[in-house]
Amino acid sequence: MKIQIVILFLAGLGLIFGSVSYFTFTCSRSLVEGGKAAEGTVTDLVHSKAYTPVVRFQTESGETIEGQSQFGSNPPQFKVQDKVRVFYKESNPKEWTIDSWWDLYFLPVMFGAFSGALFLAAAITAAVSSRGAKALNYTSYSQQRL
């Protein structure tokens, strides 16, 4: 009974991580496919544990947007004055991201990998416990015959 709870727990966590992976991927994809693209300029690098770029860009309607990216890196991925491509929502230009693998796809890949690892752990646990149960049943059957 305890092993079944462990298997369900691992599979449940795998499902949660898989759902987060799917959600973050669809958000990134909707920005790329349904959003607008603009050229931005890195105006600053905010440093705490990582260097996070501050980007300024102009929307099609002429509105200037400046904000800090969601992701940083150490060493910095960009330098001040670097030109970057950004995707933004036309309905809400303050919702934007830099066109880079790290900003668009790191979270979906990370959560997807965790999800796969948890499902694999659940499958291995189920297989090992199933094999152990068969061995126990065989042993108890052979002891009954004696």
What is the tens place of the pLDDT at every residue in 26-69?
Answer: 999 999 999 999 999 999 999 989 999 999 999 999 999 999 99
- Tokens for 82, please give them: 């670097």
- Describe the strand order of the beta sheet including 96-98 as a list of residue ranges: 64-68, 51-58, 36-47, 83-88, 96-98
Within-domain flag for 143: no
Whole-prediction pTM: 0.75
pLDDT of residue 144: 55
Cis, bond preceding 93 (omega within 30 deg of 0): no
Q: What is the total count of domains within the chain? A: 1
Within-domain flag for 23: yes
* 84 phi/psi in degrees, rounded to 5: -135, 150
Within-domain flag for 145: no
- Tell me which residue range forms the domain holding 98: 2-138
Within-domain flag for 44: yes
Within-domain flag for 67: yes
- Tokens for 120, please give them: 């694999």
Within-domain flag for 60: yes
* Residue 1 vs residues 17, 134, 137: alpha-carbon distances, Å: 25, 15, 16
Per-residue pLDDT of 67-111, as tens digits, reads 999 899 999 999 999 999 999 999 999 999 999 999 999 999 999
